[in-house]
């Protein structure tokens, strides 16, 4: 038998990104929208599928989608990059600006995919730390950046999995810091629509800042896997060099454009989820759990009197699935619950009350 080849050490030592997909009644572990897209959108997608030239490659430049996104954000199509979810956006950024001999800075605890993408692209990881309340002090973050001079800095706002928004002045301070030596500031706003304001307006040709967003959350399109970046034209030009040819299929390109015709429906759903988030936060305040303020579509919590993993398992036994972060450094014993529909949230709260008793 031939000897098997071995993968790179950065790959063979990885366990991959895992979020359990269990057969439960209430699934509140992956920050999906609890509401499906509007019926009119689904019908429009079905009609679009009939017009796709399936035997032909899609538009490699994704011009129609990029133009529609450019109009929404008041930028040019050349300032828009689209990919298969915001994870591919982030991977493309590190393929272009990271790699061997380069580094990326993150502020933990934060989205675990940042460190995984860093390892798989061979980019050295620089870790900053958040405070006990998961806030990020502007002066300490700026000091880390100026001392380490990372090629890329990723700031998640609102931060996943804590829900913490960037403090006033933090983004501007980090942008000035990376600009002083030629770094790139990446603002991951996957949950940006749930927060009071975003940073897309900061993107310009003379700033080293880009903003990543996704259709998965607020547009109720997690199944479509579509994300995008608003960036200077010089950045987008580099990303196009590392993207695979025709990496966005023809139907996906149409779906993205169609979704942008339902902005009012998206905003209405966001408002409903924000209201539910506040109702959930109030209800959790009355239970034996510690919570933190969230500007996203989820709430991080830590049971006060029982191990978090036991609470997670007991919830699963009651057919309720939340995200287990109990072993993640900085989030010991913590669980994260996605904001679902009112019915789903009430079932979660009832199950949690029972478990905590």
For the chain, the residue count is 357
pTM above 0.85, yes or no: yes
Whole-number Å distance between alpha carbons of 126 and 151: 10
209: exposed, middle or buried (Cβ count in 10 Å: 0-12, 13-18, 19+): buried
pLDDT for 16? 55
Whole-number Å distance between alpha carbons of 175 and 93: 16
Q: Where are the domains of the chain?
A: 9-36+264-356, 39-262
Single out the residue of 273, 263, 257 nearest to residue 342, CA to CA: 273
pLDDT for 13? 57
CATH 3.40.640.10 at 39-262, yes or no: yes
Over the chain (357 residues), what is each successive 10-residue block's mean pLDDT?
Answer: 76 60 89 93 96 96 97 97 97 98 98 96 97 95 98 98 94 96 98 91 96 94 96 98 96 97 94 97 98 97 96 97 96 98 98 96
Whole-number Å distance between alpha carbons of 171 and 186: 10
What CATH number does the domain located at 9-36+264-356 have? 3.90.1150.10
Whole-number Å distance between alpha carbons of 202 and 177: 15
């Amino acid at each position: 038998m031939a000897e098997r080849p071995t993968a790179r050490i950065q790959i063979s030592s990885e366990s991959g990104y895992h979020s359990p997909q269990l057969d439960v009644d209430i699934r509140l572990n992956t920050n999906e929208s609890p509401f499906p897209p509007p019926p009119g959108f689904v019908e429009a997608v079905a009609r679009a599928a009939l017009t796709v030239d399936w035997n032909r490659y899609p538009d490699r430049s994704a011009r129609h989608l990029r133009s529609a996104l450019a109009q929404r954000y008041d930028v040019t199509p050349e300032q828009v990059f689209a990919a298969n979810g915001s994870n591919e956006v982030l991977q493309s950024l590190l393929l272009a600006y990271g790699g061997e001999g380069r580094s990326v800075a993150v502020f933990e605890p934060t989205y675990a995919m940042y460190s995984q993408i860093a390892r798989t692209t061979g980019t050295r990881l620089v870790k900053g730390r958040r405070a006990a309340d998961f806030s990020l002090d502007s002066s300490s973050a700026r000091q880390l950046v100026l001392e380490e001079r990372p090629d890329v800095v990723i700031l998640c706002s609102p931060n996943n999995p804590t829900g913490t928004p960037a403090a006033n002045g933090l983004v501007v301070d980090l942008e000035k810091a990376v600009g002083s030596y030629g770094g790139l500031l990446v603002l991951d706003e996957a949950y940006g629509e749930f927060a009071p304001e975003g940073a897309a307006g900061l993107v310009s040709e003379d700033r080293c800042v880009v903003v990543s967003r996704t259709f998965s959350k607020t547009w109720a399109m997690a199944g479509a896997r579509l994300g995008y970046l608003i960036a200077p034209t010089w950045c987008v030009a580099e990303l196009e060099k590392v993207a695979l040819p025709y990496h966005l299929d023809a139907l996906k390109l149409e779906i993205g454009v169609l979704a942008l015709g339902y902005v009012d429906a998206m905003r209405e759903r966001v408002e409903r989820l924000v209201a539910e988030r506040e109702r959930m936060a109030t209800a959790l305040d009355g239970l034996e759990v510690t919570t933190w303020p969230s500007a996203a579509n989820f709430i991080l919590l830590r049971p006060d009197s029982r191990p978090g993993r036991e609470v997670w398992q007991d919830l699963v036994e009651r057919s309720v699935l939340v995200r287990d972060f109990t072993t993640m450094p900085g989030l010991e014993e913590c669980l994260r619950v996605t904001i679902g529909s009112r019915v789903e949230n009430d079932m979660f709260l009832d199950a949690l009350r029972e478990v905590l008793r």
